[in-house]
């Protein structure tokens, strides 16, 4: 199939960006979206032009590196699918595709489709861990944990930190990400000793990173390639309230 | 991934030519003052050319089969790896001296005081 791509090109953070149109010709339906861009890039490089810069790593939907907005949707049109797992059989000959980077003040553009997501790393560094020394492996079931909490924590832990939630949100809020990272630890026994400081510190860091606030749109859950639920935002809000009241009391 | 002396020697003959081709004709578009993924990939190729050559050299020097290093010339009658602890019970460390010069091998001898390494059997 032959497609027309309109891709955001931006040489660096200090220069203006703009859309540039490209013909993607002879694209195989079995290719992934990123493989399609690889083909476009190979042609650009052969012609002496600079290829489109984009992030990728595992190319199998688990690492959280790949990040592009396709026709207005982070990771493209498929539900719970990263862009590296989006295949060209979902497109037709003659289609026009708009490709942009994640748009958020908290994710400054580095080059073309590559943005700086170290803001998410700083949120993790502020509390997304437990400080207990692990020592040697305990006997199985030495620390009782309810199946419900274990399952729910696992659901939250599926977050791959890609930032699609921020890109989808009209406010560019990072609440779904922060909520997932707080929840997966706050639901487990090992996360209890630091439950209060974790939620307060991580929310504080999130607010310092130029993200917007949550006004319950829910676009985040829809865009999330792992299907993280907005219920975790409710959990975060509850934990935050309890922590904040506890601290001042 | 079996290795033979002749195969390794062939590789060692060919790699310098590949490296020269890379440095002479490799094309990198763009500059170094902004993020440049083409430059990044070129840097990796430069590293892999050096590393690949060193791996061939090391594999040629180790005339036994040991772990993931399998030399077809050194196997038991039923196709298992055959180690030579008498001559190769050491770790090799290669010292870079100059570009295109053969690196210098240093050997760190392995001493086993309480356990005698023996032939592993999967039977």
The string of pLDDT tens digits covering residues B60-75 is 999 999 989 999 999 9
Give the SS3 label for residue A216: coil
Q: How much is the average pLDDT of B4-21?
A: 97
Confidence of residue A26 (pLDDT cuts 50, 70, 90): very high
Contact between A50 and B38 using a beta-carbon 8 Å cutoff:
yes
pLDDT for A216-242, tens place per residue?
999 999 999 999 999 999 999 999 999
Residues of A in contact with B38 (CB under 8 A): 45, 50-51
| Whole-Å CA distances, B119 to A40, B76, B88, B122 | 53, 10, 14, 10
Closest CA to A85 of A34, A38, A42, A36: A34
Torsion of CA A106, A109, A115, A119, to 10 degrees: -30
Confidence of residue A246 (pLDDT cuts 50, 70, 90): confident
pLDDT for the residue numbered B123: 76
Contacts of A185 (CB under 8 A, 6+ apart): A128, A129, A130, A153, A191, A194, A195, A198
Given a cut of 80, is residue B122 above it in pLDDT?
no
Closest CA to A155 of A81, A219, A217, A230: A230
pLDDT for the residue numbered A134: 74
CA pair distance A187, A149, nearest whole angstrom: 6
Interface-testing mutation among B26, B32, B35, B40, with chain A (most A C-beta atoms within 10 A): B35
CA pair distance A29, A88, nearest whole angstrom: 5
Confidence of residue A249 (pLDDT cuts 50, 70, 90): very low
Does residue A102 contact residue A165 with C-beta atoms inside 8 Å? no
Does residue A27 contact residue A39 with C-beta atoms inside 8 Å? yes
∠ CA(B22), CA(A33), CA(A39), 5° rounding?
30
Q: How much is the average pLDDT of A20-43?
A: 97
Q: How much is the average pLDDT of A197-207?
A: 97
* Residue in chain B nearest A52 by alpha carbon: B37
The whole-chain average pLDDT of chain A stands at 96
Contacts of A111 (CB under 8 A, 6+ apart): A10, A11, A12, A53, B34, B35
The chain A residues in contact with chain B (CB within 8 A) are 11-12, 45, 48-51, 53, 110-111, 114
* B92 φ/ψ sector (left φ>0, alpha ψ -120 to 50, else beta): beta
Does residue A22 contact residue A7 with C-beta atoms inside 8 Å? yes
Torsion of CA A186, A188, A194, A198, to 10 degrees: -30
Interface-testing mutation among B26, B28, B30, B45, with chain A (most A C-beta atoms within 10 A): B30
Q: How much is the average pLDDT of A87-112?
A: 98
């Amino acid at each position: 199939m032959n497609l027309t791509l309109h891709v955001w090109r931006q040489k660096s953070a200090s220069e203006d960006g703009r859309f540039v149109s490209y013909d993607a010709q002879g694209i195989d339906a079995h290719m992934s979206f990123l493989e399609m861009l690889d083909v476009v890039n190979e042609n650009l490089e052969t012609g002496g032009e600079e290829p489109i810069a984009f992030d990728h790593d595992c190319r199998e939907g688990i690492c959280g590196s790949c990040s592009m907005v396709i026709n207005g949707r982070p990771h493209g049109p498929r539900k719970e699918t990263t862009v590296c797992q989006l295949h060209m059989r979902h497109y037709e000959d003659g289609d026009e595709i708009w490709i942009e980077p994640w748009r958020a003040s908290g994710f400054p553009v580095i080059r073309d489709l590559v943005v700086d997501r170290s803001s998410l790393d700083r949120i993790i560094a502020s509390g997304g861990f437990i400080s207990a020394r692990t020592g040697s492996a305990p006997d199985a079931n030495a620390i009782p944990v309810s199946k419900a909490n274990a399952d729910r924590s696992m659901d939250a832990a599926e977050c791959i930190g890609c930032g699609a939630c921020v890109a989808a949100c009209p406010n560019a809020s990072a609440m779904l990400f922060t909520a997932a990272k707080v929840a997966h630890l706050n639901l487990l026994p090992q996360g209890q000793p630091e439950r209060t400081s974790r939620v307060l510190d991580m929310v504080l860091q999130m607010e310092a990173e130029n993200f917007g606030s949550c006004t319950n749109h829910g676009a985040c859950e829809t865009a999330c390639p792992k299907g993280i639920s907005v219920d975790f935002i409710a959990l975060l809000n509850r934990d935050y309230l309890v922590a904040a009241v506890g601290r001042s009391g | 991934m079996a290795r033979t002396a002749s195969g390794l020697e062939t590789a060692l003959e060919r790699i310098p030519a590949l490296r020269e081709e890379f440095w002479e004709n490799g094309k990198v578009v763009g500059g170094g003052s902004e993020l440049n993924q083409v430059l990044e990939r070129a840097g990796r190729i430069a590293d892999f050319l050096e590393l690949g050559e060193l791996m061939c050299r090391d594999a040629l020097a180790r005339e036994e089969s040991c772990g993931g290093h399998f030399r077809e010339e050194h196997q038991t009658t039923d196709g298992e790896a055959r180690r030579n602890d008498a001559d190769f019970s050491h770790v090799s460390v290669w010292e870079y001296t100059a570009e295109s010069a053969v690196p210098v091998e240093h050997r760190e001898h392995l001493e086993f005081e309480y356990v005698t390494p023996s032939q592993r059997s999967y039977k």
